[in-house]
Amino acid sequence: MKTYTVAILGATGAVGQEMLKILEERNFPVGKLIPLASKRSAGKTLKFKGEDIVIQEACDEAFEGVDIVLGAAENDIAEQFALSIVRSGAVFVDNSSAFRLDPDVPLVVPEVNPEDVQRAYGIISNPNCSTIITVTAVNALNRIAPIKSMTVSTYQAVSGAGAGGPVELMNEVEALRNGESYEPKVFSHQIAYNLIPQIGSEQFLGYTSEEMKMQNEGRKIMHLPELAVSCTCVRVPVIRSHSISVSCHFDVPVTVEQVREAIANAPGCRLVDDLKNKEYPMPLDTTDQDIVYVGRIRPDLTDPNGICLWCCGDQVRKGAATNAIQIAELVVEKLEA
């Protein structure tokens, strides 16, 4: 079996650490692993397949001889090293938002548009976490009839803000229990026992950058250039796994039975939809795995051509690390074809 030299840019972060775990779980053909991080982390070690691997400082020369680079760093780091990665001959699977809307860069969810990997020339973008979970859930509906528009609300876990998110939530809960005050550092307001209806900065007509990703990225992934999305993104006091409420609107009627059958057979999805027995997708059930759970399927009472659903998925795994590695698996298929 052919193996590949794989670098992880941002290996010490939450997504980078998850990538290490998933590379091992999925038995990705890693011949050599190169974890890359900042200068302050260089020289430290991390575990991969039971071995201690030394972290190297990310620099332009670090990508020589690398086949695939998994990006788990912020936009500025991705932009800083993208040219060096491509010049070295590696394929850059980037989890940042730096290149997602570049028309020359494929934006891929393997269950939805795997064929787009074939037109990659050096960089492939991994979509936003909520977008990945949502399009994985609704793509089966799009195969029944093209989706014209969606009304979406996301309920995003605190770990989506990075490793400090869960720490801040737990510290606030502890402080409140003891009658103490706690000054938020990660979030703009107290997140314990609260909801914050803003993720990202204002971008367009009162919509935030996070909210516009659902429309802009969804159009590109599902090849629906006219798709209209109205989205509200909310930070909720949940540790892990994002939840999304979606109302899909079509040009023709789509039945609940059609949708349930499509979801039950959709790659990457699990139908969990039994209201009578209190069975529906929840963050606790979807944490630390890669399937998007879909349920609460019902007609939209405001639109005869509409369907409502609720879905949940682990935003660190399927919403980031796993999706990137699935893309890398498609890259390997392309290289070996």
pLDDT beyond 90 at 270 = yes
- What pLDDT sits at residue 118? 92
Rounded CA-CA distance 28/322 in Å is 11
CA angle, 161 as apex, 195 and 272 as ends, to 5°?
Answer: 70
Reported confidence tier of residue 259, pLDDT bands at 50, 70, 90: very high
pLDDT digits 0-9 by tens, 128-156: 999 999 999 999 999 999 999 999 999 99
- Annotated catalytic residue 249: no
Rounded CA-CA distance 107/94 in Å is 10
Span 114-133, mean pLDDT?
Answer: 96
- Annotated catalytic residue 189: no
Q: Which of 231, 233, 242, 269 is catalytic?
A: 242
CA nearest neighbour of 62 among 140, 130, 9:
9
pLDDT beyond 80 at 337 = no
Q: What is the pTM of this model?
A: 0.96
Which 3 state secondary structure label does DSSP give 192?
A: coil
Burial 150-181 (b: 16+ CB within 10 A, else e): bbbbbbbbbbbbeeebbebbebbeeeeeeeee
Under a CB-based contact definition with an 8 Å cutoff, are residues 249 and 149 in contact?
yes
pLDDT beyond 80 at 181 = yes
Query: Chain centroid to CA 196: how far?
Result: 20
Please count the other Cβ atoms lying within 10 Å of the Cβ belonging to residue 3: 12
Instruction: Map out the domains of the chain with their CATH numbers.
Output: 4-127+320-336 (3.40.50.720), 131-315 (3.30.360.10)
pLDDT beyond 90 at 1 = no
Under a CB-based contact definition with an 8 Å cutoff, are residues 241 and 313 in contact?
yes
Residue type, 7: A
Residues 6+ apart with CB under 8 A from 29: 1, 2, 3, 4, 332
pLDDT digits 0-9 by tens, 315-335: 999 999 999 999 999 999 998
- What pLDDT sits at residue 120? 86
Which 3 state secondary structure label does DSSP give 240?
A: coil
Reported confidence tier of residue 216, pLDDT bands at 50, 70, 90: very high
pLDDT digits 0-9 by tens, 24-53: 999 999 999 999 999 999 999 999 999 999
The token pair at 73 is 């760093």
Rounded CA-CA distance 285/271 in Å is 13
